[in-house]
C-alpha cells in the first residue's frame, strides 16, 4: 500500500517538475525573425503595392529612396530580438502569464499531496474496504492532476506562440519598411546559418533596431 502511494506521489511530482521546467523557460528567446521579402522596385508585384497602401494609413511619410539603388545589408537576428522593445514587452506578458500557470500547477499538486497525507494519517483506522476505496479515489485524482498539468502546458505553448508571432510579424513588417525607405534591395538576417561572411560595413543592425523601437514606441 505504501509503495503504491509513493508511486502516485512520485508520478505527480515528476509531472509537476516537467510543467514548471517549461513555465520557467517560457521567457526564452524567440526563434529568429524570418527573412523579410526583397525590397520593392519599380517592377514589384501588385500584392506589394497593396501592402504599401495599407501601410501608408498609419506610417509617417518618408521620402522614398531611388529605385535603381543596389544597397544590400544584413542585421544580426540575436541582437535584433534582444534589443527590440516589442519583443521585450512580449516576454514580460508571457512571464506574467507563466506565474499564473505556475500558481495553478502548484495548487493541483498541493491539493493531491494533502489528500495523500490525510489518507496516510487515517489509514490505520480504516477497514480494508475503506482503504481500497480511498486508494482508488487517489488514483483517479492523480489522473485529474496529470490532465490538468497537460492542459496548462498546452495553454502555455499556445500563448507563447501567439505572443511571439505577433511581435515577430510587427518586426518583419517594419524591417521591410526600413529597407524601402533607405533604398535597400535586400536585407539579410545573420545568426541562422544563412551568412557565412559579410563585411561589417553592411551591418545595419543598429539603425534597423533604432527604427523598430522608434516605431514601436510611437504606436504604444
Domain count, the chain: 1
Share of the chain above pLDDT 70, in %: 65
pLDDT at 200 over 50: yes
Task: Name residue 184's beta-bridge partners.
Answer: 71
Q: How confident is the model at residue 195 (pLDDT cuts 50, 70, 90)?
A: low
Whether the CA torsion 88, 89, 94, 99 is positive or negative: it is positive
| Cα(23)–Cα(50) distance, integer angstroms | 40
Task: Name residue 76's beta-bridge partners.
Answer: 190
pLDDT in tens, 151-176: 999 999 999 999 989 998 999 899 98
Taking residues 114-119, what's their average pLDDT? Answer: 93
pLDDT of residue 69: 59
Task: Domain of residue 135: give its range.
Answer: 2-219
Share of the chain above pLDDT 90, in %: 48
pLDDT at 29 over 80: no
Amino acid at each position: 500500500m505504501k509503495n503504491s502511494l509513493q508511486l502516485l506521489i512520485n508520478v505527480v511530482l515528476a509531472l509537476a517538475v516537467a510543467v514548471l521546467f517549461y513555465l520557467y523557460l517560457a521567457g526564452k528567446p524567440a526563434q529568429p525573425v524570418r527573412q523579410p521579402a526583397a525590397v520593392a522596385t519599380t517592377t514589384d508585384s501588385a500584392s506589394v503595392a497593396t501592402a504599401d497602401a495599407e501601410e501608408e494609413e498609419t506610417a509617417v511619410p518618408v521620402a522614398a529612396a531611388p529605385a535603381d539603388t543596389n544597397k544590400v545589408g544584413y542585421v544580426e537576428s540575436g541582437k535584433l530580438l534582444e534589443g527590440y522593445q516589442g519583443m521585450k514587452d512580449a516576454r514580460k506578458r508571457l512571464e506574467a502569464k507563466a506565474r499564473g500557470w505556475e500558481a495553478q500547477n502548484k495548487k493541483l499538486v498541493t491539493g493531491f499531496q494533502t489528500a495523500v497525507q490525510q489518507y496516510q494519517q487515517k489509514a490505520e483506522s480504516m477497514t480494508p474496504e475503506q482503504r481500497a476505496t480511498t486508494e482508488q479515489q487517489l488514483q483517479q485524482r492523480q489522473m485529474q492532476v496529470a490532465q490538468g498539468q497537460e492542459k496548462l502546458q498546452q495553454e502555455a505553448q499556445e500563448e507563447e506562440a501567439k505572443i511571439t508571432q505577433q511581435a515577430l510579424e510587427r518586426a518583419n513588417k517594419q524591417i521591410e519598411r526600413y529597407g524601402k525607405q533607405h533604398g535597400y534591395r535586400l536585407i539579410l538576417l545573420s545568426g541562422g546559418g544563412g551568412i557565412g561572411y559579410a563585411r561589417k560595413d553592411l551591418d545595419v543592425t543598429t539603425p534597423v533596431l533604432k527604427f523598430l523601437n522608434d516605431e514601436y514606441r510611437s504606436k504604444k
